């Protein structure tokens, strides 16, 4: 029996380089030799260029009756039985076959080889995906579990994991669906590489933009920063080093052609593309789009910005659930406070902070976050609107309105 007949499945189809495979095969068979003979010092294990394996036992031929070391010496009569041409003083080469080791030893060697090859393949998968962290991946959903979705990478057919926590709100997949994401991290769990996919990472939006906007891939437009509330809203600051290119226009495309595909992929995530600038005031103004800002006061020490807007622009600046102002703060690095810029505001209006003794601080802060920083600005909104925008309990809103209204009872 030829060795390669039994181990032929390890010759082809493995993602392991030839020198490594040769080293593993040699090691496995040398282990087999050591178990039977106690040492592998006088044995040659050869992997031929065609992939065949050979094992040879090498001993010095000595006269009959003078063998002192059976591992390194062979008697003249035994040598002649192997090949008539051998003479005393010559090295005798004896080719070994699998039968020499016995069935049980061969089965053990096969299992060892299978185990070693699997370990090498796992290491190979780990290294290859570690080099691809941050890359965009397309795959087919193979299995849907409670906490994750298993995806077959189209490029490698390796199984990768999309955790529920890395899915966009509104993502719903069936077996066989195609899914896109970026490789967020790779880790070894109990010796098995786990490749984690993400659709919520900022890098996913960046890769989608690179795909849709050739100017980004060509380096003509640079993405300076991305902030996201996955599935809800995102803001992207872009910059062009070529005055002839409008970075915002290039990213959006003619009639929104470039951005629409990305918005659909991200489950209708509202994406604002803004021009990056080193001018902090201007950058904050742009980041609060679609709201139109009247004026801005910056405090560089505390990194706070007081933004003044016309009353009808306040809700736009804050956005649904505060999403617009939160993302604008993350994008610019400034804590942004919005105020109504009401030039006709009555002189006898009272700042909300004046009611700190009667209204809890967190309630006052919540009202400020929806653009109400004075008593009359709160009273100008009806009860239902206040509840809806502030998300405060009805009882809390009623109490606030009662306290503020009492301030102006004489009027």
pLDDT in tens, 242-253: 888 999 999 998
Per cent of the chain over pLDDT 90 is 39
pLDDT at 20: 73
Model-wide pTM > 0.85: no
Rounded Cα gap, residues 290 and 308, in angstroms = 14
Pair 42, 58: CB distance under 8 Å? yes
> How big is the chain by its Cα radius of gyration, in Å?
37
pLDDT at 288 over 90: yes
The mean pLDDT value for 201-216 works out to 94
pLDDT in tens, 306-337: 999 888 888 889 888 889 999 999 999 999 98
Phi/psi of residue 15, each to 5°?
-85, 50
Who's near 164: CB < 8 A, 6+ residues apart?
A: 147, 148, 149
Who's near 130: CB < 8 A, 6+ residues apart?
A: 186
Who's near 353: CB < 8 A, 6+ residues apart?
A: 364
What 8-state DSSP symbol labels residue 180? E
pLDDT at 30: 86
pLDDT at 343 over 60: no
pLDDT in tens, 365-409: 888 888 787 888 888 777 887 888 788 889 998 998 998 888 777
pLDDT at 108: 80
pLDDT at 142: 95
pLDDT in tens, 128-175: 899 999 999 999 999 999 999 999 999 888 899 999 999 998 899 999
- pLDDT category, 194, cuts 50, 70, 90? very high
3-state helix/strand/coil string of 396-408: HHHHHHHHHHHHC
Q: Which range, 22-26, 47-51, 310-314, has the best average confidence (pLDDT)?
A: 310-314
Rounded Cα gap, residues 332 and 287, in angstroms = 7
Rounded Cα gap, residues 42 and 301, in angstroms = 78
pLDDT at 209 over 60: yes
pLDDT in tens, 252-270: 988 889 999 999 999 999 9
Rounded Cα gap, residues 172 and 260, in angstroms = 19
Alpha-carbon separation of residue 117 from 30, 72, 106 (angstroms) = 16, 32, 16
pLDDT at 67: 86
- pLDDT category, 199, cuts 50, 70, 90? very high
What 8-state DSSP symbol labels residue 292? P
Q: Does residue 367 or residue 8 have the better pLDDT?
A: 367
pLDDT at 133: 94
Alpha helix locations (H) across 295-358? 311-318, 323-332
How many CB atoms neighbour CB 282 within 10 A? 14
What 8-state DSSP symbol labels residue 146? S
What is the DSSP track for 189-253? ETTEEEEEEESSSHHHHHHHHHHH-HHHHTTSEEEEEEEEETTTEEEEEEEESSTT--HHHHHH-
Rounded Cα gap, residues 231 and 228, in angstroms = 8
Who's near 112: CB < 8 A, 6+ residues apart?
A: 28, 31
The mean pLDDT value for 269-278 works out to 93
Alpha helix locations (H) across 85-170? 103-130
Closest CA to 275 of 225, 320, 323: 225
pLDDT in tens, 347-365: 467 788 888 888 888 888 8
Tokens standing for 119?
A: 């370990």
pLDDT at 51: 58
Pair 368, 337: CB distance under 8 Å? yes
pLDDT at 70 over 70: yes
pLDDT at 410 over 80: no
């Amino acid at each position: 029996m030829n060795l390669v007949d039994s181990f032929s499945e390890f010759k082809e189809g493995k993602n392991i380089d030839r020198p490594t495979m040769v080293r593993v095969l040699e090691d496995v068979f040398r282990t087999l030799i050591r178990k039977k003979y106690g040492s592998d010092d006088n044995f040659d294990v050869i992997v031929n260029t065609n992939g065949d394996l050979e094992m040879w036992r090498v001993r010095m031929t000595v006269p009959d009756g003078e063998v002192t070391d059976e591992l390194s010496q062979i008697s003249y009569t035994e040598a002649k039985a192997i090949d008539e041409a051998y003479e005393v003083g010559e090295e005798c080469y004896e080719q070994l076959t699998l039968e020499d080791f016995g069935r049980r030893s061969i089965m053990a060697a096969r299992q060892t080889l299978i185990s070693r090859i699997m370990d090498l393949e796992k290491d190979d998968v780990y290294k290859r995906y570690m080099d691809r962290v941050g890359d965009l991946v397309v795959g087919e959903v193979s299995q849907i579990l409670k906490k994750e979705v298993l995806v077959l990478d189209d490029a490698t057919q390796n199984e990768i994991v999309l955790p529920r926590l890395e899915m966009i709100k509104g993502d719903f997949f069936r077996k066989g669906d195609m899914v896109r994401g970026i490789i967020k991290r790779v880790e070894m769990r109990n010796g098995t590489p786990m490749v984690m996919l993400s659709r919520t990472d900022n890098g996913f939006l960046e890769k989608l933009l690179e795909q849709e906007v050739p100017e980004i891939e060509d380096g003509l437009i640079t993405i300076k920063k991305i902030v996201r509330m996955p599935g809800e809203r995102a803001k992207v600051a872009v910059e062009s080093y070529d005055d002839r290119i409008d970075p915002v226009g290039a990213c959006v495309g003619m009639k929104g052609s470039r951005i629409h595909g990305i918005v659909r992929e991200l489950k209708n995530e509202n994406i604002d593309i803004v021009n990056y600038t080193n001018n902090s005031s201007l950058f904050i103004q742009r980041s609060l789009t679609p709201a139109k800002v009247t004026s801005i006061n910056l405090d560089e020490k505390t990194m706070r910005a007081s933004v003044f807007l016309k009353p009808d622009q306040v809700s736009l600046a804050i956005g649904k659930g505060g999403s617009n102002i939160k993302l604008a703060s993350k994008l610019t690095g400034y804590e942004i406070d919005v105020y109504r810029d009401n030039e006709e505001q009555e002189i006898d209006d009272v700042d909300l902070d004046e009611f700190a003794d009667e209204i809890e601080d967190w309630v006052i802060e919540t009202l400020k976050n929806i653009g109400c920083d004075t008593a009359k600005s709160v009273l100008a909104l009806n009860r239902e609107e206040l509840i809806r925008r502030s998300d405060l309990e009805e009882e809390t809103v009623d109490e606030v309105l009662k306290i503020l209204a009492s301030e102006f009872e004489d009027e």
